[in-house]
Structure 1
Amino acid sequence: MAIDSAAAALNADGHKREIDAYLANLEETAKRVFSGRIDADVMGSNRGMPPFVLRDITAARPLAAFLPGRVGGYGDSPLAIQGMLDVMSYQSMSLGLMMGINGALFIQPVSKYADREVGDRILTKMAGGHAMGGLMITEPEFGTDALSMQTAWRATDDGYAIRGTKHWAGLTGWADYWLVMARQQNDKGALSQGIDLFICEQDHPEQRIEVIERYKNLGLFMLPYGKNKVDVRVPADHRLNGGRGGVRMMLDVLHRSRMQFSGMAIGFVRRMADEAVAHVRSRVVSGATLIEYDQVQARVARIQGQLALISALSLYAAEHASATKDLSREAIAANSTKALCADYMHSSSQSLLQLVGAKGYATDHIAGRSVVDARPFEIFEGPNDVLYTQIGAKIVETLRKKKTNDLGGWLRAEYAAGADIAKLGSELDVTIGERPAQRRIVDLGVIVSRLHALNALCELASRGFPPEHVAAAAGTAAEEIRARLDALRHDTALTPADDLLQRAPWLSYVQTPAS
């Protein structure tokens, strides 16, 4: 037994060294490609990705992180996945997202749920860097309400016919393979409540998806988005089948992708932190460097605290989000990770822009680009408001089943480590009504997401993470939690007015000064 344990440890160390070497090569390649050759030009106002970028990046095999060992990948290693996304996103958010789309939204579900022969043929081609894949869910009339989609499939003699319209799928017009989500249509034209996923191969005439409009996306200029017409016929072995309902399979895919958001977020926020620190240490204002000002110190500390919390969630994903696990029921952890990471990406980019000032408000500056590149992450793959609502609603349901309104007691029991590191003692003593307003449910979702991250931070701290960064993270999350707890205690109703204000609505209230 001792010999077996030693052999396993040796293999694990060897695997880690192999991944470290793989990531080091990726980092050197990405740094070389993005250092001066394209930064000011392509990452400014131009769209698309120069061929040499894809050539050089794919030569370093970034997608090997997601690919199973049977086709030459790293066996879907969470260590390789989180590390690769970090490296790519540090240099370019578009590049990081491109890898995330290919890996989390195509390679992983195909590897896990597709027919083995079909899947391995496609994944082998992707392993060579000769193909990309994406996922089509959203429709023009059905975004957040995705399960009401109108894209329909029906069985044919030799497979399935699928018809509908999809949009905002990353890699529109670029992907060689698509996973298309659709609902079954019966003989009367009615659509079922369930959903299914199908592989479409663009090189096959009957499976080709037509791009009918290309969108001028506000940010992420390197990635193409648009509207797509789906009118295809696919073989029977192109339907994904995980031995479970389609909704549960979809949740497993999306929850894993949301947990892996931390890989993209850590690279992005790490870049924001590095840029911010470099700027405030060199910029002199009124005879002092910016870092000497208390307000600036607080901004930088928050960015660093956000980075540490994302680091903790990245560790959590590396140890809890492997492809072998069924994550369909892990909504709180997955939604918390995605929403918090997206919030912090946007917040850190806004802080960097504020610190840099006017120079940063340009499409060819990292600060300006980062603001528009980070913003959509709070929208796609589940808008943050919706994800926070889902988290909060689940907690309200749990309290109702326990027949208690003692929210504070439940939070202290469920997130004891997080509450302790953030020094949230009696401040958590808050009750919640039987049917709280939706905005208060959102507040609750934010609180739980931060406590989930704080629990992960405690684990990271116990393994030797730098104490100064742990303290910044705990203070950052505690500040946000206290603000939301205050909102729960003092619920102020906000109701929109029926009438719209006209031109210069203040004009009639001007008082003429007495002579």
Structure 2
Amino acid sequence: MTATADRVLTTSASARDSAIADFLANLDETVNRVMRGRVDADFMESNRGLPPFVLRDIMAAKPLSAFIPDQYGGFGDSPVAIQGMLDVMSYQSMSLGLMMGINGALFIQPVAKYADEQVGRRVLKRMAAGHAMGGLMITEPDFGTDALSMQTAWRQDGQSYTIQGTKHWAGLTGWADYWLVMARPMNEDGGLSQGVDLFICEQDHADQRIEVISRYPNLGLYGLPYGRNKVDVRVPLDHRLDGGRGGLRMMLDMLHHSRMQFPGMAIGFLRRIADEAVRHTRERTVSGSPLIGYDQVQARVARIQGRLALVSALSLYAAEHAAADVDLSRAAVASNAAKTVCSDYMHDAAQSLLQLVGARGYATDHIAGRSVVDARPFQIFEGSNDVLYAQIGAKTTDQMRKRGTSDLGAQLRADYPEGVDLAKLGAELDVSLPDRPSQRRIVDVGFIVSRLHALGALAELATRGFPPDHVAAGAATAGEEIRGRLTALRDDLALRPAEAQLGVASWMPYLKPGV
């Protein structure tokens, strides 16, 4: 590369970084003004839906530009803008953060990558202007984790596709202007073939409109509507996504990209939790001393900050490894680790904040109580964490089997040396696994691997000058978790459900005589 070309690229990158910084600053100011100035954020978050002006003002700041490809006027070719935008939104409202994540990771990115060029251009330009939203429909009432057995079916009928089925728990139910609907191909005999496909449905067209059958009273995330939907539509042939690969590969690429963006949502959420925890424990006094002076409280706050450090590292990792044009269909370990670690830490931090705040926090209009119910579903949707841990663990145990070793420590030291070193894991790692571990032990291995992946990212972040005290808190937090799971692997205590159910006051027959 010539010196001139190098200067042009450097200048271009600098201008781009400046534009992204300006975009995020404007978005932060807008969300702060709307959520903390024009509306009582706590009241809004404890009531269903969003006031119309809130969504209007926020969409006017064009947050979805973070996902929109450069050619359509956005920043979507840079994961930096995506991570930053999700951080800004999630600090103020988890509902807003998830809303943007659904639009971007589950609609805009797959459309930009796999849709017909003309259809994609028309849809994405409208979304870039802040005039439309899009979502994804996969889950069905009888098929959640077992999504590939879905019964929503498609068949070609002349110059269109007919799609019929029922979908539920799609975020933005009744709000989205566009939907990506996943369905299985129907055979000539009426049966369903293996494999899945994705189709764009435009709600402004009567023959593509999806009917909302009912709305769900979701426990948390009040700002987002969920419900049950009847799919009985006809879409043009050019509305089927086709990336030159099978539908399953497209689905994995889409979901893995989405899971890689969990750190963006988690970091904003955890920053808010950490700020609230520090503020409360400094201001609240018990027996004449501030809460933060107590060792148990310090440990809770340190763990919250440690989780924030680890999620910050995963955000950096995603910004550098999960660009929109990268095929992540085979990046199961990294993407599943990002999703599981972030969602576990969101829930754990929210529980700690509620414990610190006490009775006042046990209300839907308080940030502590609301955070608990808002964070909980992140451990369930886009793959239950138990299932994702099992997938991660199975990858590691399969590698061990191929190498002909039962030494978990040797495998982990080879795969995640930076994480092992940062957590100061020594002889604790020396666990011998059976050739065919039980499922729950495979889940334990997946849990450990996910933390080591995060620790590896934190070790890299530390080399770039991240505050050492936050690095130390992150290393101690993850190391403590890993040691707990290693103990479970080493002891391998049997846990089996009892055959008989206990009845009312089942303890009474065992009372001492005369009581």
Q: TM-score, normalised by structure 1?
A: 0.99
Task: Give the Cα–Cα distance (whole angstroms) in 2 for the partners of residues 195 and 147 of structure 1.
Answer: 7
Q: How does 1:254-333 map to 2 (within 5 A)?
A: 254-333=255-334
Task: Give the Cα–Cα distance (whole angstroms) in 1 for the partners of residues 22 and 296 of structure 2.
Answer: 40
2:43 alignment partner, one of 41, 44, 59: 41
Secondary structure of the residue aligned to 1:17 is helix
1:219 paired residue number: 220
- Kindly provide the CA deviation profile for residues 84-109 of structure 1, in whole angstroms up to 9, marking residues without a partner as x: 00000000000000000000000000
**8 Å CA contact retained: 2:76, 2:324:** no
Secondary structure of the residue aligned to 2:42 is coil
Task: Give the Cα–Cα distance (whole angstroms) in 2 for the partners of residues 22 and 61 of structure 1.
Answer: 9
Task: Give the Cα–Cα distance (whole angstroms) in 2 for the partners of residues 6 and 456 of structure 1.
Answer: 30
Task: Give the Cα–Cα distance (whole angstroms) in 2 for the partners of residues 75 and 58 of structure 1.
Answer: 16
Deviation at 1:159, TM superposition (A): 1.8
Task: Give the Cα–Cα distance (whole angstroms) in 2 for the partners of residues 258 and 38 of structure 1.
Answer: 31
- Kindly provide the CA deviation profile for residues 195-223 of structure 1, in whole angstroms up to 9, marking residues without a partner as x: 00000001101100000011000000010
- Kindly provide the CA deviation profile for residues 395-424 of structure 1, in whole angstroms up to 9, marking residues without a partner as x: 111111111111110100110011001101
- Kindly provide the CA deviation profile for residues 124-170 of structure 1, in whole angstroms up to 9, marking residues without a partner as x: 11111111000000000000000000000011110210000000000
Secondary structure of the residue aligned to 1:413 is helix
Deviation at 1:5, TM superposition (A): 2.1
Q: How does 1:147-296 map to 2 (within 5 A)?
A: 147-296=148-297
1:375 paired residue number: 376
Deviation at 1:6, TM superposition (A): 2.8
Q: How does 1:92-103 map to 2 (within 5 A)?
A: 92-103=93-104
1:120 paired residue number: 121
Task: Give the Cα–Cα distance (whole angstroms) in 2 for the partners of residues 81 and 229 of structure 1.
Answer: 32
Q: How does 1:395-414 map to 2 (within 5 A)?
A: 395-414=396-415
Deviation at 1:9, TM superposition (A): 2.0
2:385 paired residue number: 384
2:132 paired residue number: 131
Deviates more, 1:196-205 or 1:35-44: 35-44
**8 Å CA contact retained: 2:418, 2:459:** yes
Task: Give the Cα–Cα distance (whole angstroms) in 2 for the partners of residues 340 and 91 of structure 1.
Answer: 21
Matched, 1:4 2:9: no
Counterpart residue identity of residue 77, structure 1: S
**8 Å CA contact retained: 2:77, 2:325:** no
Secondary structure of the residue aligned to 1:253 is helix
Counterpart residue identity of residue 186, structure 1: N
Deviation at 1:513, TM superposition (A): 5.2
Secondary structure of the residue aligned to 2:43 is coil
Counterpart residue identity of residue 471, structure 1: A
Task: Give the Cα–Cα distance (whole angstroms) in 2 for the partners of residues 5 and 425 of structure 1.
Answer: 46
Q: How does 1:484-503 map to 2 (within 5 A)?
A: 484-503=485-504
Secondary structure of the residue aligned to 2:48 is coil
Task: Give the Cα–Cα distance (whole angstroms) in 2 for the partners of residues 119 and 326 of structure 1.
Answer: 19
2:144 paired residue number: 143
Task: Give the Cα–Cα distance (whole angstroms) in 2 for the partners of residues 352 and 15 of structure 1.
Answer: 38
Secondary structure of the residue aligned to 1:182 is strand
Task: Give the Cα–Cα distance (whole angstroms) in 2 for the partners of residues 175 and 348 of structure 1.
Answer: 31
Task: Give the Cα–Cα distance (whole angstroms) in 2 for the partners of residues 41 and 392 of structure 1.
Answer: 42
Matched, 1:425 2:398: no
Matched, 1:83 2:84: yes
Secondary structure of the residue aligned to 1:35 is helix
Secondary structure of the residue aligned to 1:217 is coil
Deviation at 1:429, TM superposition (A): 1.1
- Kindly provide the CA deviation profile for residues 347-392 of structure 1, in whole angstroms up to 9, marking residues without a partner as x: 0000000000000001110001000000000000000000000100
Q: TM-score, normalised by structure 2?
A: 0.99
Counterpart residue identity of residue 96, structure 1: G
Deviation at 1:430, TM superposition (A): 1.2
Counterpart residue identity of residue 305, structure 2: Q
Counterpart residue identity of residue 258, structure 2: S
Secondary structure of the residue aligned to 2:277 is helix
Task: Give the Cα–Cα distance (whole angstroms) in 2 for the partners of residues 418 and 348 of structure 1.
Answer: 22
Q: How does 1:471-510 map to 2 (within 5 A)?
A: 471-510=472-511
Matched, 1:359 2:351: no
**8 Å CA contact retained: 2:152, 2:184:** yes
Deviates more, 1:238-247 or 1:400-409: 400-409
- Kindly provide the CA deviation profile for residues 272-295 of structure 1, in whole angstroms up to 9, marking residues without a partner as x: 000000000110001110000000
1:343 paired residue number: 344
Task: Give the Cα–Cα distance (whole angstroms) in 2 for the partners of residues 351 and 394 of structure 1.
Answer: 32
1:463 paired residue number: 464
Runs of 4+ residues deviating >3 angstroms: none
**8 Å CA contact retained: 2:77, 2:323:** yes
Aligned length: 513
Counterpart residue identity of residue 43, structure 1: E
Matched, 1:27 2:28: yes
Counterpart residue identity of residue 60, structure 1: A
Deviates more, 1:101-110 or 1:69-78: 69-78
Task: Give the Cα–Cα distance (whole angstroms) in 2 for the partners of residues 396 and 248 of structure 1.
Answer: 24
Counterpart residue identity of residue 38, structure 1: D
Counterpart residue identity of residue 460, structure 1: L
Secondary structure of the residue aligned to 1:41 is helix
Task: Give the Cα–Cα distance (whole angstroms) in 2 for the partners of residues 10 and 325 of structure 1.
Answer: 24
Task: Give the Cα–Cα distance (whole angstroms) in 2 for the partners of residues 40 and 425 of structure 1.
Answer: 46
Counterpart residue identity of residue 152, structure 2: T
Deviation at 1:31, TM superposition (A): 0.8
Q: Percent identity?
A: 70
The runs of 5 or more residues in structure 1 that have no matched partner are: none
The runs of 5 or more residues in structure 2 that have no matched partner are: none
Task: Give the Cα–Cα distance (whole angstroms) in 2 for the partners of residues 459 and 421 of structure 1.
Answer: 10
Task: Give the Cα–Cα distance (whole angstroms) in 2 for the partners of residues 346 and 302 of structure 1.
Answer: 12
- Kindly provide the CA deviation profile for residues 6-39 of structure 1, in whole angstroms up to 9, marking residues without a partner as x: 3322221221111111101111111111115131
**8 Å CA contact retained: 2:140, 2:167:** yes
Task: Give the Cα–Cα distance (whole angstroms) in 2 for the partners of residues 193 and 436 of structure 1.
Answer: 30
